[in-house]
Amino acid sequence: MSQDYLGEFEQMVLLSVMRLGDRAYGLAVKDELESVAGRSPSSGALYTTLDRMEKKGLLESYAGESSSERGGRPRRYLRLTPAGRAMLSETRSTLLALWEGLEGALDG
Amino acid sequence: MSGRHPPRWLERIAGRALPAGLSGQGTLGDLAEEFQRRAAESPLRARLWYAGQTVSIVAYRAFTGTGADSMETRSDLVADLRWSFRLVLKHPGFAFGVVAVLGLGLGANAAVYSVVDGTFRNTTWWRAPDRTLGVWPERKWSFGMMELYREDQAAYRSLGGWVELAYALRTPDGASESVNGVAITPQLFRELAVQPVLGRALEDDDALLGVEPVVVLGESIWRRAFGADPGVLGSTVDISGVSMRVVGIQGSAAKAPGGRAQLWLPLVVDPREDDYFKATNLKLVGVLRDGVTMDDAYQEIDAFDDYLARLFPAFFTSDWDDGLVRIARADASQRRLISTPLLLLLGGTVLLLLATALNVGNLLLGRAIERRSELAVRAAIGAGRGRIVQQLLVEAAVLTALGVGAGLAIGAVGGPWIRELFVGQAVVASSSVLSPSVLAFVTTAAVGAWIVLGGVPVAHFLRAQRAALTLRPHSGVRVQRSLVAVQAALATLLLVSATLLVGTVDNLRRVPLGFDKQNLLAVELSPPEDRVAASTTARGLYDALAEEVAGIPGVEAVGLTDRLPLGAPAPTAPINLASAPVDQVQAPKARLHAVDPGFFAVMGMEAVEGRLLDSEDRKRGISAVVVNETLARSLWPDASPIGQRIAIDPHMWSTFLPVVGVAPDIRSDDITAPPEPAMYVSLAESPARDVTLLVRTRRDGAAVIPAVRRAVTDVDHLVPVRSVMWMDDVVRAAYSISWIVMGLLVALALLATGLGAIGIYAALTQHVASTRKEIGVRMALGAEPGEVVGAVVRSGLLIAGVGIVMGSVAAALSARVLESMLFGVSTLSAWAYAASALGVCAAAVLSAWIPAWRAGRLPPAEVLRGE
């Protein structure tokens, strides 16, 4: 797995999914990205990324409830797989290692 | 339930791009949910948002290959596409140049083809062309005859007539403008292929006697004079002194009865009028009923013909057996005039496209040579040959596609522009560049261009591969040079054609006309029917006009004729000789001109023998005839024409008139033909409806024009001035088609030459770059810079020379295409070939000079050290 590296947007998406817990589905992720990270990705970008990460085994999805306002289509709930968690934590520790000793450097 | 739902068609597009199953359904659901949320604020914005999201989904799926299907080749193709687009963005200048050049080539083709298509496709004005017939198109119908036949016939579902007239239209700004109009049987109006875009068509009741006069305005005058104001509908406008209610706006059609008619009036037929049975310019058209064949219609009209012959024995003197003509065929003769010029232009643009494709192919080849090592490395690390070929082809396809876009934009502007050049000279129309046939043509042309510009680097790559790993730098250069030679050949071919046409136009310009066209003003007038109905009023009108205009300061002489010299050819009339009577079929014919006594003076014509028509004739009660030299020679080769007696009216075959004089030959009918036999009779004796006032002014007589217009209005404000033209311009108009084609071909030839020059420049630059070492060695061994420069220029000339030979051979072989357009120039005229060769050589030397000069300045030591 370590030859793959999470891109910035992928990290954000995975973190949003984690933060939302069992309420994580596409639109909620989008809202979360917007409210917390100030990013409003296009649908193309977001859903392509979700599909790609599911294909890589970082995410898994399951069907949720449907409603009339969704045209009768189910929600696609998302959660991290163990591989996804491992990847995220690996990325975090790599970044933290790189940041070590630099905490004050940007302020000066 | 709000009932708000994303647009279904967008949803369908997004759904198709998304993967099946939960992923796709979940995404569509999310989009629907967000759409609801946004629609609560603004439904319109929500829709726009949804459209944007759909585009982003489709784009992401296409470019990342994670769409519904992701087979390997597809993602290869997608990768190639992305790579090609990236290349475009990385070298925007190069891409811009390529797209501009290709766009020019494709655009010229799109423009000319849209005119060709428009002109040849819309073969008819009528809704049901297969069943629409011209009924005795050569016959002079009268309203009464038409009405008799309309009542009698059973073969046609619609039968009616139309007549073209000039009207004086008072525009909202108060000016009076002469506008061509068509008075047409309402039933027939509704058979037209183009119908009103606003308001209603003419209805049968509109043509009843005593109802309010109505008019349908043409779209272009509605836009021009009424500012496209829909409020015009229902209002009244003043047309030739009659207040008419506007009921509709007729859509534009280049092919309409009357060509450029801008007014459509119901043809009102009043049996109480004196001229009810008088021959007019009425054209009869019928649309056959279902199941009725043309043979049936023939039989019916034959029977009717017998009936008419009994009714009007005097009218049926000559052999009218042209009967029924399919309208489409009648149109064909009109189109023949324009077909050669248009097809010639299309040939020119196709050659230009070939030149542009070769040019771009060359540029891509140059780049392929530069990327030789990259391609070699990629081949070495296992990229299959097919992969690299595909990549090169995709790159060419992307550039071609961008070129098509530019080409369609150029064509959309250029097509109507070219059409407008020919309008007035010929019957032309243009199709939209987005019409299926034009798109199909442009696509075909683009595929051809793509094959050339993709094939060149591919062929080079494959050859280089075959030459294995020892890629010699010259391998591509030779290909490049032969391609440039072909470009030079195309330039030569186009230059020869253009030069021959330049010679033609020059010859036409110098044709001795026999009259002085300088400072001669031609004013076309269309007096209303009732003003000339009686010969006496007409005479009064003509005399008054001539007198009034003659009084304008700056006017030296005034004359009248029944037709504009070099406008439509005069009709021919059979001639019976008192000394040796003949029947009408065998009678010699001559063009008949009706003129007033002032005509000869204003044209600068003096009697060759005897005298010309004068105002005394009328007082003496003589109907005199003047013949021209050609007619005099052919009728009386050994005797004097003076005092001979001839009859020229088929209805009065034994009424002989004296020939009083011989006028010099002038070219007043067809500028390219030798003078024809012609005769002149007094306009007062045979009043014509349309007359042309010829006004000889002093030098710089532009100020006379408004005065002439005013004078005409003063004499009779209901006489519309159809046009005011300097005879100089009329003469030029007589060869304007040659002139326009020449201009466009010259432009194409110069473009092709420019492209050839760029090609030579590129090839020689490449050549100099790849032979730096060789040049360095030669200079180190004592070669002078001048020799190096000379060698490079010579190789440029060599390329051009090969091209000139190829192009000249091609020009000689294809000369027959051009032949019918030429006048006084042989298709093999040496000077045209010499001039073209010289032009291409000059372009070659100019474009070779820069790389040659650079080569001459190469410092030998540095070059050798560098290697």
- Which residues lie closer than 8 Å to B14 by C-beta, 6 or more apart? B27, B28, B31, B53, B54, B57, B58
Using the Cβ of A48 and the Cβ atoms of chain B, whether some distance falls under 8 Å is answered with: yes
Nearest residue to B262 (alpha-carbon basis) of B274, B273, B277, B252: B252
For residue B492, pLDDT beyond 90: yes
Nearest C-alpha in A relative to B30: A27
CA B454/CA B637 separation, integer angstroms: 70
Q: What is the pLDDT of residue B454?
A: 87
- Closest-CA distance, A50 to chain B, in angstroms, reads 9
- Judged by DSSP in three states, B269 sits in coil
By Cβ distance, the residue of B2, B59, B66 closest to A51 is B66
- Judged by DSSP in three states, B645 sits in strand
CA B480/CA B764 separation, integer angstroms: 10
- Judged by DSSP in three states, A97 sits in helix
For residue B663, pLDDT beyond 90: yes
Q: pLDDT tens digits for B107-146?
A: 999 999 988 887 776 555 677 777 888 887 666 678 888 8
Using the Cβ of A2 and the Cβ atoms of chain B, whether some distance falls under 8 Å is answered with: no
Using the Cβ of B2 and the Cβ atoms of chain A, whether some distance falls under 8 Å is answered with: yes
Q: What is the pLDDT of residue A24?
A: 93
Using the Cβ of B12 and the Cβ atoms of chain A, whether some distance falls under 8 Å is answered with: no
* B61 contacts A76? CB cut-off 8 A: no
* Beta strand ranges found along B146-296 (DSSP E): 156-170, 176-184, 196-199, 214-218, 236-239, 242-250, 263-266, 283-288
pLDDT band at B471 (very low <50, low <70, confident <90, very high): very low
* B34 contacts A44? CB cut-off 8 A: no
* Interface with chain A: mutation pick from B11, B13, B18, B33, highest number of A CBs within 10 Å: B33
For residue B211, pLDDT beyond 80: yes
What average pLDDT does the structure give for chain B? 81
| Chain A / chain B CB contacts < 8 angstroms | 90
Region of A16 on the Ramachandran plot (φ > 0 left; ψ -120 to 50 alpha; else beta): alpha
- Closest-CA distance, B4 to chain A, in angstroms, reads 8
* Beta strand ranges found along B531-636 (DSSP E): 555-561, 572-574, 576-577, 589-595, 609-610, 625-628
Q: pLDDT tens digits for B151-161?
A: 888 889 999 98
Q: What is the pLDDT of residue A80?
A: 94
Q: pLDDT tens digits for B528-568?
A: 666 555 545 556 777 888 888 888 888 899 999 988 888 77
Q: B385 or A32, which is more confident?
A: A32
Using the Cβ of B70 and the Cβ atoms of chain A, whether some distance falls under 8 Å is answered with: no
Using the Cβ of A50 and the Cβ atoms of chain B, whether some distance falls under 8 Å is answered with: yes
For residue B472, pLDDT beyond 90: no
By Cβ distance, the residue of A45, A54, A73 closest to B25 is A73
Q: Is B845 exposed, middle or buried (0-12, 13-18, 19+ CB in 10 A)?
A: middle
- Which residues of chain A make contact with B2, given a CB cutoff of 8 A? 69
* B66 contacts A70? CB cut-off 8 A: no
pLDDT band at B72 (very low <50, low <70, confident <90, very high): very low
Tokens encoding A46: 């977001």
CA B736/CA B717 separation, integer angstroms: 33
Q: What is the pLDDT of residue B554?
A: 86
CA B775/CA B171 separation, integer angstroms: 75
Asked if residue B309 lies in contact with residue B148, where contact means CB atoms within 8 angstroms, the answer is no
Rg, Å, chain A Cα set: 16
Q: Mean pLDDT throughout B460-489?
A: 71
- Dihedral sign computed on CA atoms, order B680, B683, B687, B693: positive
By Cβ distance, the residue of B30, B61, B66 closest to A25 is B30
Q: Mean pLDDT throughout B604-625?
A: 83
Asked if residue B748 lies in contact with residue B351, where contact means CB atoms within 8 angstroms, the answer is yes
The proportion of chain B whose per-residue pLDDT surpasses 70, expressed as a percent, equals: 86
Of the listed ranges B232-241, B310-319, B388-397, B411-420, the least confidently predicted one is: B310-319
pLDDT band at B71 (very low <50, low <70, confident <90, very high): very low
pLDDT band at A1 (very low <50, low <70, confident <90, very high): very low
CA B40/CA B377 separation, integer angstroms: 58
pLDDT band at B632 (very low <50, low <70, confident <90, very high): very high
Asked if residue B675 lies in contact with residue B628, where contact means CB atoms within 8 angstroms, the answer is yes
Q: pLDDT tens digits for B336-358?
A: 667 788 888 899 999 999 999 98
Q: What is the pLDDT of residue B172?
A: 80
For residue B240, pLDDT beyond 90: no
Which residue's entry shows tokens 């064509």?
A: B411
Of the listed ranges A2-11, A42-51, B414-423, B752-761, the least confidently predicted one is: A2-11
* B23 contacts A61? CB cut-off 8 A: yes
Of the listed ranges A61-75, B84-98, B823-837, the least confidently predicted one is: B84-98
Pairing mode, strands B576-577 and B645-647: antiparallel
Nearest residue to B758 (alpha-carbon basis) of B787, B728, B808, B799: B799
CA B731/CA B646 separation, integer angstroms: 32
The proportion of chain B whose per-residue pLDDT surpasses 90, expressed as a percent, equals: 17
Q: B483 or B311, which is more confident?
A: B483
- Which residues lie closer than 8 Å to B218 by C-beta, 6 or more apart? B249, B250, B252, B261, B262, B263, B264
Most confident of B66-75, B251-260, B309-318, B661-670: B661-670
CA dist A101 → A92, A96, A97, A105, A106 (Å):
16, 10, 9, 8, 11
For residue B726, pLDDT beyond 80: yes
Using the Cβ of B61 and the Cβ atoms of chain A, whether some distance falls under 8 Å is answered with: yes
CA angle B510, B514, B520 (to 5 degrees): 90
CA B56/CA A44 separation, integer angstroms: 5
Q: What is the pLDDT of residue B841?
A: 92
CA B336/CA B419 separation, integer angstroms: 16
Nearest residue to A61 (alpha-carbon basis) of A88, A28, A33, A31: A28
Q: What is the pLDDT of residue B2?
A: 45
CA dist B503 → B127, B496, B830 (Å):
43, 11, 12
B278 DSSP assignment: S
CA dist B842 → B190, B486, B499, B757 (Å):
60, 17, 16, 9
CA B463/CA B461 separation, integer angstroms: 5
Q: Mean pLDDT throughout B621-637?
A: 88
Q: What is the pLDDT of residue B434?
A: 84
Nearest residue to B426 (alpha-carbon basis) of B740, B189, B183, B193: B740
Q: What is the pLDDT of residue B186?
A: 92
- Which residues of chain A make contact with B66, given a CB cutoff of 8 A? 48, 51-52, 55
Rg, Å, chain B Cα set: 35
Q: Mean pLDDT throughout B775-792?
A: 84
Q: Mean pLDDT throughout B45-58?
A: 87
Q: What is the pLDDT of residue B65?
A: 52
**B182 — phi, psi (to 5°)?**
-125, 125
Pairing mode, strands B520-525 and B132-135: unpaired
Q: Alpha carbon B280 to chain centroid distance? A: 31
Q: What is the pLDDT of residue B322?
A: 54
Q: What is the pLDDT of residue B661?
A: 92
Tokens encoding A21: 């817990």
Tokens encoding B39: 């629609």
For residue B623, pLDDT beyond 50: yes
